[in-house]
Amino acid sequence: MDMRNLKLINYCWGCGAEHDASEVNYDQNATDKTVKCHCGGNIVTPSGKVQLQVVPAVPVWLIEDGSETFRVAAADDEQALQFMIDDWGMEDIEDVEVTVITDQEELRRKFILSEEGSKTYLSIMDVLNQTEKFPTLISTSIW
């Protein structure tokens, strides 16, 4: 799998906290492979079990202005909103709601038409994976 713009996360078995998998190091050959979370729970169990998930390396923001829905990949919510104002001419940002999309099903749901006239649908993860430059518009309710 091409991991561009995506990263691997390990979840703590105790508290569910996310840990960047590249920073969770353990010895494959050790008898006890335990890696502890700050909560005292295990990120890696003694036998080496992990909870693994591929997630966006750049957060994806849902921007709703009451009539339209946009999804933007950007470093933070301010950058996402500024991008909509600068590049897409968004006005009336008084009542705009910006929330981060973390739901794994939503990130993998194939609902974005890949190109005009095509019948191929992509997920947010698919679009992220093809993106060269951020911030970027992932989808709008118009297309």
CB of 24 to Zn ion, least distance (A): 12
Q: Which of 12/60 has CB closer to Zn ion?
A: 12
CB of 9 to Zn ion, least distance (A): 13
Reference 132, options 58, 81, 49; nearest CA is 58
Give the footprint of Zn ion on this chain (CB under 5 A).
12, 14-15, 17, 37, 39, 41
Q: Which of 19/71 has CB closer to Zn ion?
A: 19
CB of 33 to Zn ion, least distance (A): 16
How many CA atoms lie within 13 Å of 35's alpha carbon, on the beta-carbon side?
A: 19
- Helix and strand numbers, DSSP H then E, in the chain: 3, 11
Strands 97-100 vs 60-64: parallel, antiparallel or unpaired = antiparallel
Determine the Cα–Cα distance for residues 137 and 84; give it in Å rounded to an integer.
8
Q: Which of 53/140 has CB closer to Zn ion?
A: 53
